[in-house]
Amino acid sequence: MGIFGRISDIFKANVNDTLDKAEDPEKMLKQMVIEMEESVNRTTLAVASAIANEKTLERKLTKAKAETADWQQKAVQALNANREDLAKAALQKKAIVERNVLDLEPIYISSKATSDKMRSQLDQLKNKLEEARSRQSTLIARSQAAKAQKQIAQSFSGIGSDAFSKFDKFEGKIEKLEGEAEAFEQLGGTNTRLEDEFKTLSSSTGVDEELLKLKASMGKLPPAIEN
């Protein structure tokens, strides 16, 4: 594949597909820009070589045309001096140079067309590279935002329904423990009240007996009723 085909493939690549497949989109974008820069540098060298070749052919063609005119002038000069032999020799030289001009001219025209086309393509590639550089920062910012959004989504999914169900389960256990504690507390309170009542009852009986004894000793008891 030629250099222009390679560069065309790079610039026509679907960036979205590349980002989908890339493990690190930011690194991939930077690598793509580096490849574009390298391709533009290689193309610049190729264009420079083509231009140099065009200029070399142009100089050769210009020189050959100048030699043709020079030999033509020498032939005229020789005839003016009645030197047909020199005029004939000058015309022979002129014919050789003219053949050289005829050979060089189509080669130069083709070379110039090629270098002009390559210059145009290089300008397009440079524009594409500048566009890629300007878009790179935007795409990297979008990539970073997408990563942050993904991390947030993963964080939420990490405390999903399973985690909440565990919280509900623990809450149920705690409520059960609280209920059992309350029940035991109530049961314990009932026993205490019964014991207190019996103690009060026993205490009251003892006091009544002491009161009767005291009344008897003081003759305060009413007389017994006989049947």
Q: What pLDDT sits at residue 217?
A: 72
Residue 16 lies in a domain: yes
Residue 226 lies in a domain: no
Within this chain, do residues 93 and 179 fall inside the same structural domain, yes or no?
A: no
Please name which of 132, 135, 109, 147 lies closest in space to residue 40, comparing C-alpha atoms: 132
- Answer yes or no: do 134 and 188 share one domain: no
Q: Which of 158, 181, 202 is the last residue of a domain?
A: 158
CATH number of the domain within which 95 lies: 1.10.287
Task: Please state, in angstroms and as integers, the Cα–Cα distance from residue 29 to each residue in 34, 38, 58, 126, following that order.
Answer: 9, 14, 43, 17
Nearest of 115, 73, 80, 114 to residue 97 by alpha carbon? 73
Residues 55 and 90 in one domain: yes
- The confidence score (pLDDT) of residue 201 equals 60
In a domain, 224, yes or no: no
98 lies in the same domain as 210: no
Domain count across the chain: 2
pTM tops 0.75: no
Alpha helices in the chain (DSSP H): 3-12, 15-21, 25-80, 84-158, 161-217
Residues 174 and 73 in one domain: no
Digit-by-digit pLDDT tens for the chain (227 residues) are: 555 555 555 555 545 555 455 567 778 878 888 888 898 899 999 999 999 999 999 999 999 999 999 999 999 999 999 999 999 999 999 999 999 999 999 999 999 999 999 999 999 989 988 888 888 878 778 777 877 887 777 766 655 556 666 667 777 777 777 777 777 666 655 556 666 666 666 666 666 677 677 667 777 667 666 55
Residue 127 and residue 43 in one domain: yes
Tell me: do 181 and 124 sit in the same domain.
Answer: no
User: Do 104 and 34 belong together in one domain?
Assistant: yes
Instruction: Domain of residue 123: give its range.
Output: 3-158
95 and 13, same domain (yes or no): yes
Residue 179 has what pLDDT?
76
Q: Which of 114, 141, 158 is the last residue of a domain?
A: 158
Q: For residue 223, what are its two tokens?
A: 């007389």
The answer to whether residues 60 and 43 belong to one domain is yes
Asked if residue 227 belongs to a domain, the reply is: no
**Assigned domain for 122 exists:** yes
Query: Which residue, of 141, 158, 175, is where some domain finishes?
Result: 158
Specify whether 105 is located in the same domain as 173.
no
pLDDT at 137: 79
Q: Do 29 and 131 share a domain, yes or no?
A: yes
Q: Which of 98, 103, 37, 110 minimizes the C-alpha distance to 71?
A: 98
